Amino acid sequence: MLGATLDGVPESVAIGLALLGGGSVSVAMVVAVFLSNMPEGMAASVGLRNAGHSRARILWVWAGIVALSVSAAALGYGLLGNASPDVVACIQAFAAGSILAMLANTLMPQAFANGGREVGLVTVFGFILASALATMG
């Protein structure tokens, strides 16, 4: 859950910053954030359930992470309006790094252990899809 928070908060700040930059968040960004968070959330929830946590507790934990992420997006939008481009770039780089760290440390090894070699091909397909969405949106 710490990983999801460390991933979600900078990601949300980046969304708030994107709202500042262009007035809206692209469809590609929303789809990418949603798709990247689904397997992370499912894997973490299964792990918590296997550790004996109740479904209600798991839902409350996720509700807290969502609330924290929404707050981070609002703070990114509200507090960083006058931030220098260098500060914005650093925050966005941190957000990107946190996403990559979560993928490399948690999701990819678990996906490979459970899904085998096909995981690499699906990962490449996902990257191509994200690139295509970014180009369109």
Q: Domains of the chain: which residue ranges?
A: 2-136
pLDDT at position 24: 62
pLDDT in tens, 78-95: 887 778 888 878 887 887
Q: Confirm if 13 and 72 have CB atoms less than 8 A apart.
A: yes
Per-residue pLDDT for 34 more than 80?
no
For the stretch 3-29, pLDDT in tens is: 677 677 777 777 777 776 666 666 676
pLDDT band of residue 2 (cuts 50, 70, 90) is low
What is the average pLDDT score of the chain? 80
pLDDT on residue 53:
94
pLDDT, tens digit, 9 for 90 and up, residues 66-79:
888 888 888 877 88
Confidence class for position 1, pLDDT limits 50, 70, 90: low
DSSP the chain: -HHHHHHHHHHHHHHHHHHHHHSS--HHHHHHHHHHHHHHHHHHHHHHHHTT--HHHHHHHHHHHHHHHHHHHHHHHHH-TT--HHHHHHHHHHHHHHHHHHIIIIIHHHHHHHHTTHHHHHHHHHHHHHHHHHHH-
% the chain with pLDDT above 70: 87
Nearest 10 degrees: Cα torsion 36, 61, 6, 72? 90
